[in-house]
Amino acid sequence: MTRRAVVIGATGQIGRVAVGALARDGWEVTALSTGGGRDDGWPEEVRIARADRGDDDALAAALGDGCDVLVDMVAYGPEHARQLLGLADRIGSAVVISTLSVYEDDKGRNFDTQAEPDGFPEYPVPIPESRRTIRPGDTSYSSRKAGLERELLDGGDRLPTTLLRAGAIHGPHCRTPRELYFVKRNLDGRPRRILPYGGASRFHPASVHNIAELIRLAAARPGSRALNAVDPDAPTVAEIAAAIDTVMGVETRSVLVDGPAPSPAVGDTPWSVPVPVVCDMSAAERELGYRPVARYAETLPETVAWIEGRLAGGRDWREAYPKMFATYRDLFDYAAEDAWLAGRQA
């Protein structure tokens, strides 16, 4: 019997891999995105749908008579949960991408409080899914994701949904690649990089390949649950930088700083957190029979190659990665970096 999957956000970094994995696993897949694109690696049978998921009629039309599983990469708030629950009579189960930033520590600190004095959350290492989550709200990315989760889990009797709490996602086609921080420095011949917190920060990465594997397994084993979605390893930022150097064949010296980045423009890498953010994957192993398919360093060559391709010909990173520029503005202030390094030597 043919099983049908509809994937919303199919041409994004996760979607490209997940659509291929589902199709090769025997699913009849409809790949939905705003632009209606297709990945070269997808089997021919994958169907394409072009729709804005914010348009209820367009989404319902793409669903047609319905599907066995709906995979949603771009659900951001409770309104998307309600939209999916409203279509529950036509969807067997769902797999929805959430984020580890829904977690809160014992003092009520979370990613939304990190800019406050002593506001960075101190989580257990590793974080289990039973860790408390922030109050749903409309004020931030994380509180909206918490609202999305709450409504979908509450509606589990109507639409069993697996929520995947992803870490720092990496892979080709990423629109906000953290790896750009070191790849561009290497392309620009920067001999030194400044790493706060002694280079020991750990912010758990999540390969698109591991997330796609979790999606494939969850699609076959519907349930109402939230599961972490991260790599088997959580390298330090110094290890990440060194691994990128190895892939690019360069040698760079790390200048380690005790404590936080000297300024937002100096050493504030996208992974530089004061205390570890590392998640536990044993629930997915137990519930889905999950086994990781990729380790961080193994997947780096394709990620680095993708970034190098986007920057080829000296292309301005702000044009190549507009979403990255909007999120992290001060990533490459070399003048500020050099001034700080010169001051340190003086």
Ligand X SMILES: NC(=O)c1ccc[n+]([C@@H]2O[C@H](COP(=O)([O-])OP(=O)(O)OC[C@H]3O[C@@H](n4cnc5c(N)ncnc54)[C@H](OP(=O)(O)O)[C@@H]3O)[C@@H](O)[C@H]2O)c1
Site residues (vs ligand X, CB under 6 A): 8-15, 33-35, 37, 52-54, 73-74, 97, 99, 166, 168-169, 175-176
94: left (phi over 0), alpha (psi -120 to 50) or beta: beta
**How many Å apart are CA 336 and CA 265, to the nearest integer?**
7
| Min CB(13)–ligand X separation in Å | 4
| Min CB(335)–ligand X separation in Å | 28
Q: Indicate the residue whose CB is closest to ligand X.
A: 12
Residue 205: strand pairing partners: 168
Please, is 190 exposed, middle or buried when counting C-beta atoms within 10 Å of its C-beta (0-12, 13-18, 19+)? middle
8 or 277, CB closer to ligand X? 8
147 or 262, CB closer to ligand X? 147
Please tell me whether residue 91 adopts helix, strand or coil conformation.
strand
Close Cβ partners of 101 (under 8 Å, ≥ 6 residues apart): 110, 111, 141, 142, 145
**How many Å apart are CA 334 and CA 337, to the nearest integer?**
5
Q: With beta carbons less than 8 A apart as the criterion, state whether 194 and 266 touch.
A: yes
2, two tokens: 């043919």
| Min CB(258)–ligand X separation in Å | 27
| Min CB(172)–ligand X separation in Å | 10
Q: Write out the H or E segment, with its range, that includes residue 48.
A: strand 47-50
211 or 265, CB closer to ligand X? 211
| Min CB(11)–ligand X separation in Å | 4
| Min CB(340)–ligand X separation in Å | 28
175 or 291, CB closer to ligand X? 175
| Dihedral of alpha carbons 28, 30, 31, 35, sign | positive
Please tell me whether residue 141 adopts helix, strand or coil conformation.
helix
| Dihedral of alpha carbons 228, 233, 239, 240, sign | negative
The amino acid sitting at 342 is: A
4 or 204, CB closer to ligand X? 204
Close Cβ partners of 165 (under 8 Å, ≥ 6 residues apart): 98, 99, 100, 102, 103, 129, 226, 227, 228, 229, 279
31 or 266, CB closer to ligand X? 31
* End-to-end CA gap in the chain: 73
| Min CB(31)–ligand X separation in Å | 8
| Min CB(20)–ligand X separation in Å | 13
